[in-house]
């Protein structure tokens, strides 16, 4: 009964689905999308250091739910992040792991599965998060971008050692380098030996007697730096790139974490992207649509000549092959550029122009008594359209 109560308590404390704001039936892509949103929202470099615990909670939730085996284990009532969790269920010995920790405190590690030792001064750094906005042309061909991040970097004065002038840490006189101290305590079972981290050296076993004045013994300093990013050709909007070892340097000059960069694409004034294709709208005079015309349009590859065919209809399209977006991870392959034709109808005409159009109407539209209405566009057939007829009338 106690085990069931413990499981209910753990589930209430860490509902990973609720942490990411998703349903229990969420797909792998929904989990990934929710993680990106929540990690961006609560990252300490963006939201502030007070959200560090919340950020860790989001990472723990994603670590479990993104792994199919861990997710099945979690859904069955066992949290893989909890001590003592088995491969696919709780340990048959309940909380023996916790009991081992308790006995280890009293008997110097005899029941803890390993001997205690000093805590290393060098610790790995955390990951960092940044964002950048690029133009559509950079997304088409790839390129470079730069972001500024404010995080911990290696102290250049001491090289990460934390000690001044090349000096070395000295052995702690209290714990003699062990990192912990033992003392006798009175319990209901009598006198027992317990151990705790050494207060003087904070469990490191050594003391920096002459700390570096730049980093005050931490081996790292907070600084703003610029990082160059390689943008792959064909990148999509709201993508996330990972730069290994470009994040925060750890305590004692420890290995840097990774830098994650969210990439957004700025809207373009001439082109709209749809997958790997680019779309643009070209407005032409009515006479060009009727009679046909050659014209130049701008593309990311320079000026290109397109031919407006005679009798072109509004919203007809002209496709320029391989002038679209580069296909991600498919070197040399690109989508298409699709030009949509928009016909400009004159709002004012001269008397001579009006007379010409009226003569055309009298010749071709005299028998028209009603308009054609349909739920779908008219299918192409042998019957000529309006512009084809107008061309015949003008020829």
Same domain, 133 and 254: yes
- Give the model confidence (pLDDT) of 363-386 as tens digits: 777 676 666 676 765 554 444 444
Same domain, 222 and 340: no
Q: Which of 49, 79, 94 is the last residue of a domain?
A: 94
Q: How far apart are the C-alpha atoms of 375 and 324, rounded to whole Å?
A: 32
Same domain, 385 and 277: yes
Dihedral sign computed on CA atoms, order 28, 34, 36, 38: negative
Q: Give the mean model confidence (pLDDT) for residues 161-189.
A: 86
Same domain, 58 and 7: yes
Same domain, 296 and 311: yes
- Which 8-state DSSP code applies to residue 211? B
Q: Is residue 171 a part of any domain in this protein?
A: no
Predicted pLDDT of residue 83:
54
DSSP state string for 338-393: EEEEEEE--S---HHHHHHHHHHHHHHSTT--S----SSPPPP-SS--HHHHHHHH
Same domain, 244 and 129: yes
Same domain, 252 and 325: no
Q: Which residue has the higher pLDDT, 372 or 178?
A: 178
Predicted TM-score (pTM) of the model is: 0.64
Q: Do 162 and 208 meet the contact criterion of CB atoms below 8 Å apart?
A: yes
Same domain, 151 and 280: no
Q: How many CB atoms lie within 10 A of CB 119?
A: 15
Q: Report the Cα 50 to chain-centroid distance in Å.
A: 22
pLDDT at 124 over 80: yes
Same domain, 129 and 244: yes
Question: What pLDDT band is residue 5 in, cutting at 50, 70 and 90?
Answer: very low
Q: Which of 248, 266, 284 is the last residue of a domain?
A: 266
Q: Is residue 161 a part of any domain in this protein?
A: no
Same domain, 253 and 281: no
Q: Is residue 107 a part of any domain in this protein?
A: no
Q: Is residue 120 a part of any domain in this protein?
A: no
Query: Closest Cα to residue 128, out of 40, 3, 255?
Result: 40
- Which 8-state DSSP code applies to residue 60? H
Q: How far apart are the C-alpha atoms of 158 and 153, rounded to whole Å?
A: 12
312 belongs to an annotated ligand binding site: no
Q: How far apart are the C-alpha atoms of 269 and 255, rounded to whole Å?
A: 44
Predicted pLDDT of residue 345:
86
Q: Which of 73, 94, 115 is the last residue of a domain?
A: 94
Query: Closest Cα to residue 222, out of 40, 45, 37?
Result: 45
Write the CATH number for 129.
Answer: 2.60.260.20
Q: Encoding tokens for residue 391?
A: 């061309």
Q: Which residue has the higher pLDDT, 379 or 301?
A: 301
The share of the chain scoring above pLDDT 90, in percent, equals 47
215 belongs to an annotated ligand binding site: yes
pLDDT at 320 over 90: yes
- Give the model confidence (pLDDT) of 322-340 as tens digits: 999 999 888 889 999 999 9
Give me the phi and psi of 231, to 5 degrees please.
-90, 120
pLDDT at 241 over 90: yes
- Give the model confidence (pLDDT) of 141-160 as tens digits: 999 999 999 999 999 999 99
280 belongs to an annotated ligand binding site: no
pLDDT at 4 over 60: no
Q: Is residue 199 a part of any domain in this protein?
A: no
Q: Is residue 52 a part of any domain in this protein?
A: yes
* Number of domains present in the structure of the chain: 3
Predicted pLDDT of residue 278:
97
Predicted pLDDT of residue 369:
66
Same domain, 296 and 226: no
Domain that holds residue 258: 125-156+211-266
Instruction: Specify the pairing of strand 143-154 against strand 220-231.
Output: antiparallel
Q: Give the mean model confidence (pLDDT) for residues 187-201.
A: 80
Same domain, 3 and 63: yes
Write the CATH number for 50.
Answer: 1.10.287.110
Predicted pLDDT of residue 8:
40
Q: Beta partners for 90? A: 85
Query: Closest Cα to residue 342, out of 295, 277, 380?
Result: 295
198 belongs to an annotated ligand binding site: yes
Q: Is residue 240 a part of any domain in this protein?
A: yes
Q: Do 111 and 96 meet the contact criterion of CB atoms below 8 Å apart?
A: no
Q: Do 246 and 203 meet the contact criterion of CB atoms below 8 Å apart?
A: no
Q: Encoding tokens for residue 224?
A: 């703003």
Q: Beta partners for 153? A: 221
Ranges 47-61, 106-120, 210-224: which has the least confidence: 106-120
pLDDT at 255 over 70: yes
158 belongs to an annotated ligand binding site: yes
Q: Is residue 12 a part of any domain in this protein?
A: yes
Predicted pLDDT of residue 182:
81
Q: Report the Cα 16 to chain-centroid distance in Å.
A: 20
Predicted pLDDT of residue 287:
86
């Amino acid at each position: 009964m106690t085990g069931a109560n413990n499981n209910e308590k753990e589930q209430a404390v860490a509902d990973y689905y609720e942490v990411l704001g998703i349903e229990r039936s969420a797909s792998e892509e929904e989990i990934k999308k929710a993680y990106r949103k929540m990690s961006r929202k609560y990252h300490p470099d963006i939201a502030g250091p007070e959200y560090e615990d919340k950020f860790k909670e989001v990472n723990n939730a994603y670590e479990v739910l993104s792994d199919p085996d861990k997710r099945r284990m979690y859904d069955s009532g066992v949290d893989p992040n909890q001590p003592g969790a088995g491969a696919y269920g709780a340990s048959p010995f309940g909380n023996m792991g916790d009991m081992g920790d308790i006995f280890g405190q009293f008997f110097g590690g005899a029941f803890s599965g390993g001997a205690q030792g000093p805590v290393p001064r060098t610790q790995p750094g955390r990951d960092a998060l940044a964002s950048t906005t690029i133009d559509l042309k950079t997304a088409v061909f790839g390129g470079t971008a730069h972001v500024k991040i404010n995080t911990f970097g290696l102290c250049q004065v001491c090289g990460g050692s934390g000690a001044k002038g090349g000096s070395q840490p000295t052995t702690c006189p209290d714990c003699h380098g062990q990192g912990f101290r033992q003392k006798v305590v009175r319990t209901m079972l009598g006198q027992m030996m317990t151990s705790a981290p050494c207060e003087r050296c904070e469990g490191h076993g050594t003391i920096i007697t002459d700390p570096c004045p730049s980093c005050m013994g931490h081996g790292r300093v907070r600084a703003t730096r610029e990082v160059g990013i390689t943008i792959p050709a064909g990148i999509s909007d709201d993508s996330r790139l990972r730069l290994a070892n470009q994040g925060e340097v750890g305590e004692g000059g420890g290995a840097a974490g990774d830098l994650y960069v969210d990439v957004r694409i700025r809207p373009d004034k001439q082109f709209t992207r749809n997958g790997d294709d680019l779309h643009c709208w070209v407005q032409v005079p009515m006479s060009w649509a009727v009679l046909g015309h050659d014209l130049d349009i701008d593309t990311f590859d320079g000026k290109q000549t397109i031919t407006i065919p005679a009798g072109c209809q509004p919203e007809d399209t002209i496709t320029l092959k391989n002038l679209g977006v580069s296909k991600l991870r498919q070197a040399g392959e690109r989508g298409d550029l699709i030009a949509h034709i928009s016909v400009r109808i004159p709002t004012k005409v001269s008397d001579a122009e009006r007379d010409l159009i009226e003569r055309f109407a009298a010749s071709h539209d005299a028998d028209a008594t009603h308009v054609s209405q349909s739920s779908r566009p008219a299918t192409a057939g042998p019957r000529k359209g309006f512009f084809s007829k107008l061309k015949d009338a003008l020829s």
